[in-house]
Chain A
Amino acid sequence: MIGLKDDETRLLPLMLAPAVSYIALLIGFPFVLSIAYSMTNISVGTTELKFVGLDNFISVVGSQTFWVALKNTCIITLVSQVFVVGLGNVLAGLLMADFTGKWWVRLLILLPWVAPISLGSIGWLWIFDSIYSVINWTARAIGLLGPFDWPIWLGQPDLAMASIIIVNVWRLLPLATVIILAGLSSIPQDIHDAAHVDGAGFWRHHFEITMPLVLPITLIAVLFGIVFTFTDMIVVFVLTRGGPYDTTQVLASWAFFTGIQGGDLAEGAAISLFLFPVLVAVAILFLGVARRTEVT
């Protein structure tokens, strides 16, 4: 007979093994490898390495594009999160209401999340196309655009940034909505009733009761969103490839263009490592939030 305790001590490492090996193989190993690469002179065509210390980092910091990419990464991440949270709250609020066809509407709203990012981005590429832009044709048809106005969404730096932010919002909104929806449904009806009886009007009810109560879970949505946006290169890669003239480059895409397209793996690795501090900060915040929600 095997005692329960024996069983558990044997089971625990067994159950943890998949998670640990997943992290080690798919996250830990590439991470260590990129640290190693960033301090060598490796390129795609060579396998022999030379240690160069911090040369790559110095070179990265010295390039203007890097700073543009860093700035863009932050702007895109922050601005899209603001919209995601705002719209996510509105959508989730609407979805809480009872109406016929609710199931279908929920499914529709979730679709962008289920669709592969690259596929969605390619769809958007057409929406923003310089000739076939659905937005422009529609705007012209309803008279918003004059005969000589024709915004080139991906060709003008500001509009290109806006386009990238729009696609990121579109992509992350479903997740945020679902998370906030979960938060909203977890508020007991009694609390809402109490607020009604206590005399709260619509805005007070929303801002003083509902919002603060979904805040912790919204924070989770935001942290997810930050991680997804901050590390994403597909949207930029598909829509603008960093253009016009590197004005929409982000850290991930710049690392890719430098490391893979350009062949300078070492510098690409160095660029990608600049993502690390931010992600660590986010991870710490994550744990903090998780702990706090545990207490409540």
Chain B
Amino acid sequence: MWNYEKRLQFPVKIDCTSPAVAKVIITQLGGPDGETAAAMRYLNQRYAMPNRHVAGLLTDIGTEELGHMEMIAAIIRQLTRDMTIEDVKKAGFDTYFVDHTAGIWPQAASGMPFSSMVFQSKGDAVTDLFEDLAAEQKARTTYDNILRLVDIPDVREPIKFLRQREVTHFQRFGEALRLIQEDLDCKNFYAINPSFDNPSKK
């Protein structure tokens, strides 16, 4: 169960219109390393996670990622809500506009629609946590690239905040991996799946 809090985790207040910038930033909504993928990855992985502390971490980080989807959508909305048809054409936003007008739809910057194929839920604690560590780094790199491409200060501030969250989540997932490794039988380190081949279950 979730409750909705009527605020962003970090404020988004953008005064200018730029569909060109929105076209790039939308990749963090529906792209391969975006916030929708992050939320779906952690919230689906948690059911098979054998360690309760780590399942709790997946729940809490997954919940925060839902808030990050909302921040990215807010950035795109504010960059596009006052655009004219001339702005659309000049920015090359027409290929998005023709299907979605100024609606928010999760896709990568390339136009590839959001897909579950961009993440895994493998049902193996070690496998899933390595995926999560990699995912946080991939998202951090994407935010670095956005900061290389975008010079609007009002856009950069929330993007810098989101980039920093990837660093914190990477740290927490590293600790989670350590907790899982402490649970493993040292003779079977990496050889068994603690989520499935649990000897105490049989």
Asked if chains A and B come from one complex, the reply is no
* Chain A interface residues (CB < 8 Å from chain B): none
* Chain B interface residues (CB < 8 Å from chain A): none
